[in-house]
Structure 1
Amino acid sequence: MTELWNWRIDQVRPAEVWPALAEALGRVVMPLAVANPARLPRYAVVCDIWQAPGEFATVVDCYGVPDTLAELPSIATLARLLDRNCVLRDDTLDETRHLLVAPDGTIRPVHFDVREADDGEVLSGQRLCTEATPGCRGWSRCQRSRWAPDSVLPALAAA
C-alpha cells in the first residue's frame, strides 16, 4: 500500500461520498478519525472527507491505497456514481492545473485560481486549459504534460 490520492468533488455532502467511494474502490473505506492501523482489514482503504471553501469544496484524501487500484478509473467511477464533476492534481506540478473528471468519464485539463485559507486550499475561477490561453502554450508546463491543452480523453483510455 503506497498510494495517496487527493480529490475534490463539486457540490456534494461528505455523507453521500462514503458509500459511493466504497463502491468505486471496491473496498471497505474506513474514516481516518476511527481507523486503527493495528485492526484494519487488509482490503480496507483509510480516507478523510471534509468540506473546504470555494469550488469543488468536498475534499477526499485516501491513504495507503493499494497499488493494484488505478486512480483514474476509480475517480471516474466515483464521478459517475455521484453524478458530479471531480478534480485531481495533474502531472505538471503547477498548483493551478488540475484534471476535471466528468460523470461521463471524460478527463480534461483545467486551471483554477488557488489561494490558501485557514480551512485549506480554495479553488475558484475554473477555466479550461487551452491553446487559446497564452499561459498554456509555448514552453509552458501545460505543454510538458501528458494532458496537453485542449485534450479530452476517456478515463479508461487515459489510465
Structure 2
Amino acid sequence: MAGLWNWSVAVRIEPDRVRDALAGALERGVTEIGTTGPDAMLCDVYHVGGDFPTLVDVYLAPDEVDEETIASAVAVRLAAAVLVPDDTLNPSRYVCADPDGTLRPVHVDERETDDGAERWHPRPCTGDDPACAAHPGCHRSRWKPDPTPERPAAA
C-alpha cells in the first residue's frame, strides 16, 4: 500500500455511501480520516460545486490494482460517473469511469476554490479539443482520443 487516489464523482453522494462502494470494489475495509481499522484504507469525501461535486481522496491505496479498474467498479456501484487523473500532464484531461463501467478519456474545465477543485463541462477527448493542443500528451496516452465521424481514427 502506498498510493493516493483523487477522484471526482458526477453527483453529490454521502461519504458513507462512497466508502461502502470503495470497500465493496476492493473487498477490504475503508474508513474515514481519523478512525482506524485493521488493514483499512483511509478515505476523505467532501463536496464542492461543479458538474462533479463529490471529491474523494483515498489514502494508502493499493498499488497492486489498477486505479481505473477500481474507479470503474465504484462508478457502477454508485451509478455515477467518476473522474480519475490520466497518464498525461494535461491538467484538463481525465479518464471517466461511466456508470456502466466504460472507461474513456475526457476533458473538463477546472476552477480552484477554497473548498477544492470544481470540474465543469466534461467532453470527450477527440484530439481536436483546444485542451489537446494546449498541452501535449493526449495522443501519447494509453487512453487514446476517441475518434468522431468528423475525425476518424488513424489507419
What is the TM-score when the length of structure 1 is the normalising length? 0.83
Partner amino acid, structure 1, of 2:121: G
Q: What fraction of aligned residue pairs are identical, expressed as a percent?
A: 41
SS in 1 for 2:117: strand
1:41 aligned to 2:38? yes
> How far, CA to CA, are the matches of 2:103 and 2:111 in structure 1?
24
Q: CA deviation at 1:51?
A: 0.7
Q: State the one-letter code of the partner of 1:19.
A: D
SS at match of 1:72: helix
Which residues of 2 match residues 4-153 of structure 1 at below 5 A? 4-14=4-14, 15-35=16-36, 40-42=37-39, 44-136=40-132, 140-150=136-146
In structure 1, list runs of 5 or more residues that go unmatched: 152-159
Q: What secondary structure does 1:54 align onto?
A: coil
CA distance in 1, matches of 2:57, 2:10: 15
Letter in 2 for 1:56: F
- How far residue 131 of structure 1 moved from its aligned partner, in angstroms, is 3.1
In the TM superposition, what is the alpha-carbon distance from 1:79 to its structure 2 partner?
A: 0.6
- The DSSP-based 3-state class of the residue aligned with 1:110 is strand
Q: Secondary structure at the match of 2:139?
A: helix
In structure 2, the residue corresponding to 1:16 is in which secondary structure?
A: helix
- Asked if the contact 2:32/2:42 (under 8 Å) is kept, the reply is yes
Structure 2 segments unaligned to the other structure (5+ residues): 148-155
Letter in 1 for 2:103: I
Q: CA RMSD in A?
A: 2.0
- TM-score of the pair, normalised by structure 2: 0.84
SS at match of 1:7: strand
Runs of 4 or more above 4 Å deviation = none
Contact 1:49/1:58 (CA < 8 Å) preserved in 2?
yes
Partner deviation per Cα, 1:106-154 (whole Å, 9 max, x = no partner): 11111111111111111112111103435536x8321121111117xxx
Number of residue pairs aligned between Structure 1 and Structure 2:
146
Report if the CA contact (8 A) 1:136-1:149 is conserved.
Answer: no
- For 2:107 and 2:62, how far apart are their aligned partners in 1? 29
Amino acid across the alignment from 2:98: A
